[in-house]
């Protein structure tokens, strides 16, 4: 439970179930109105309240510091249910407004760490309701967590729009992170095309190559840099949501370097050419090796070969890669395997149509970017996010 970033809303709504196992006769389900006045978790709350017999009308409360809470009982856990649907252990707390709520055991430890539980189970001090994502938390007002979460909550009602962003300024997010805005730049990605098929569809009857898509593999994104330990990482946003306020208008000294982190990567530069380069990884005599070869000028196969005793046994084509107007085009894996001569085939292996066995090499595929950098082609990391 992250107690430093708890949301403390100003308005609550409490629904009830009539329960004979509670001191007050009413078990409460507490939800809240967010900064925009939208009632959160309303669907699950409505279903839960509808199971009450007799029905009890919900009540709205201001989430003000309140005292008089009392520990009631525990529940959940394996002692109370032996099926696959065992509930997590919880503690029930009596709210002085006349109902009871369930809190988690970590929440109970937080309360006992910050205050005193008097004989008779009375909790000392004032409390408010807060949320750790979707989890209800009963939060002591006299705690560092309350002070930190108050500042976190204040950020949730703030917003910086796209037109207000200035390159070089540092912004605080609603998660209390500090990001340097670099600008709105082109963001490149590999385009996926076609269903899984043989490498050479013209040689397979009834197979036709897929039609090229209109996706040009580029879009605009808002780009930020944030510090993660001793290095900087990039954050790409389609829309600048989650930005709360400006924290500094001073351009950092390393701003040009931060921009280069984007422009000198696959996401910031078009691909100029695909080339094969020797791999730095030594080929293994036994196991799987990844390599690449050129099928025809400008079109490459990313292959994986299984070897035993230094001899290749079979190859699976993971992707077919080509280049179109600076955009990397990736087609899915080829169904089946290409087998080495005299290699026995397992019952679960099928032969791929349209491809022939090739002896594996130590070459892998690189993309040479227009900025002059060469990077290995890894389709999984290059697709559109």
Residue 328's closest CA among 269, 260, 261? 269
- The 3-class secondary structure across 42-108, one letter per residue, is HHHHHHHHHCCCCCCCCEEEECCCEECCEEEEEECCCCCCCCCCCCCCEEEEEECCCEEEEEEHHHH
Q: What is the token pair recorded at 47?
A: 């279903």
DSSP for 196-212, written as a single string: S--S-GGGSTT--PPPP
Domain parsing of the chain, residue ranges: 11-156, 162-269, 273-382
The confidence score (pLDDT) of residue 385 equals 81
* pLDDT (0 to 100) of residue 327: 92
In the three-class reduction of DSSP (H, G, I as helix; E, B as strand; rest coil), residue 12 is classed as: strand
6 CB neighbour count, 10 Å cutoff: 23
Confidence at residue 197, expressed as pLDDT on a 0 to 100 scale: 46
Model pLDDT, residue 198: 46
Rounded-to-integer distance, Cα 288 and Cα 110, Å: 50
Q: Decide: 9 and 33 in contact? Cβ < 8 Å.
A: yes
pLDDT at 333: 83
Spans in the chain with pLDDT lower than 50: 196-203
Tokens of residue 101, six digits? 């709520």
Residue 340's CB: how many other CB atoms inside 10 A?
17
């Amino acid at each position: 439970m992250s107690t430093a970033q708890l949301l403390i809303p100003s308005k609550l709504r409490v629904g009830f179930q009539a329960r004979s196992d509670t001191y007050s006769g009413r078990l409460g389900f507490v939800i809240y109105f967010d900064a925009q006045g939208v009632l959160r978790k309303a669907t699950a709350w409505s279903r839960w309240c509808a199971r009450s017999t007799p029905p009890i009308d919900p009540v709205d409360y201001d989430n003000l510091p309140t005292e008089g809470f009392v520990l009631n009982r525990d529940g959940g856990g394996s002692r109370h249910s032996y099926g696959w649907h065992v509930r997590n252990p919880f503690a029930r707390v009596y709210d002085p407004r006349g109902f009871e709520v369930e809190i988690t055991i970590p929440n109970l430890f937080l309360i006992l760490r910050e205050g005193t539980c008097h004989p008779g189970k009375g909790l000392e001090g004032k409390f408010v309701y807060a949320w750790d994502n979707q989890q209800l938390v009963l939060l002591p007002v006299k705690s560092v967590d309350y002070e930190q979460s108050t500042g976190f909550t204040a950020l949730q009602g703030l917003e910086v729009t796209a037109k207000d962003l200035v390159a070089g300024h540092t912004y605080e997010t609603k998660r209390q992170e500090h990001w340097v805005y670099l600008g709105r730049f082109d963001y490149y990605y590999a385009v996926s095309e076609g269903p899984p098929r043989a490498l050479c569809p013209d040689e397979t009857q009834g197979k036709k190559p897929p039609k090229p898509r209109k996706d040009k593999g580029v879009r605009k994104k808002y780009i930020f840099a944030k510090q993660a330990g001793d290095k900087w990482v990039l954050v790409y946003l389609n829309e600048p949501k989650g930005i709360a306020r400006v924290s500094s208008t001073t351009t950092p000294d390393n701003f040009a370097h931060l921009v280069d982190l984007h422009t000198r990567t696959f996401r910031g530069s078009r691909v100029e050419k695909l080339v094969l380069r020797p791999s730095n990884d030594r080929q293994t005599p036994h196991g799987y090796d990844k390599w690449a070869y050129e099928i025809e000028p400008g079109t490459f196969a990313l292959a994986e070969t299984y070897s035993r005793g230094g001899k290749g046994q079979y190859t699976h084509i993971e992707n077919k890669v080509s280049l179109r107007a600076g955009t990397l085009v990736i087609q899915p894996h080829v169904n089946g395997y290409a087998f080495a001569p005299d290699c026995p085939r397992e019952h679960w292996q099928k032969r791929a149509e349209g491809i022939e066995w090739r002896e594996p090499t130590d070459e892998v595929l690189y993309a040479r970017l227009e900025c002059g950098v060469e990077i290995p082609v890894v389709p999984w990391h290059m697709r559109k996010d």
